[in-house]
Structures are given as C-alpha cells and as structure tokens.
Amino acid sequence: MNSQPKSVVSDLEQAHSQDIETITRLLAKISNRSPSEIKPHLNTMLLQLVQPSTERPFYETATASEWVTAFREWAASHRHDAPSLSDYAVSRESMYEDERL
C-alpha cells in the first residue's frame, strides 16, 4: 500500500484532532462501543476517503456465494438481544395510521 495516503490521514488527524476526538466519542456513544473500538474503524474510513480507489466495488465483482457470506456476516454483527417488535408495530394499520386522520 502506498504510504502517501497514510501520511495524508496523519496530517488530517493532527490538523483536526479535536474534531476527530469528538466524532470518536459520538460514534462510541451511539454504538455502545468504547472509543478504542471506534478509532480503528474511523482511521480505516479516513484512509479510504483520501486514497483513490483502483479496485472495483464488491457489488460489481462478488459472486452469489460471496454475497451470501457477506450478508450472513453482516447479520451476525448485529445485537441479538434486542426486544422483538409487537405484532401491531409491524402491522399495516400502524404504518398507515396517520393517513386516517
């Protein structure tokens, strides 16, 4: 990998350290993760934003089995202890409630 994008990210982190710290804290708060868990993801995202992409996107190159694997990994990455919605919450009546007023 070219070191120039990493240098650009480093320069951005130095110039905007307070903003990046604020973003890290906000992401930690809304995701219920620690800032130390968020920081690597934020760094990866910054690197992707400053690095020109020469690779074709996943959706252009993935096979059907790669899509299935990616979907299952994505589904498994979510919380499994969240309460289920009630039958009413997902009913047609609740979705169009405002139209009857």
Q: Render pLDDT for 59-68 as a digit per residue (tens, 0 to 9).
A: 999 999 999 9
Phi-psi region of 56 (alpha: psi -120 to 50; beta: other; left: phi over 0): beta
Of 16, 11, 73, 8, the C-alpha closest to 24 is 16
CA torsion 60-63-65-70 (nearest 10°) is: -20
For the chain, what is the mean pLDDT? 86
> What's the Cα-to-Cα distance from 53 to each of 2, 6, 56, 76, rounded to whole Å?
12, 14, 8, 28
Return the pLDDT at 1.
46
Q: How confident is the model at residue 100 (pLDDT cuts 50, 70, 90)?
A: low
User: CB–CB of 51/2 below 8 Å?
Assistant: yes
Whether this prediction's pTM lies above 0.85 is answered by: no
* Whole-number Å distance between alpha carbons of 38 and 22: 12
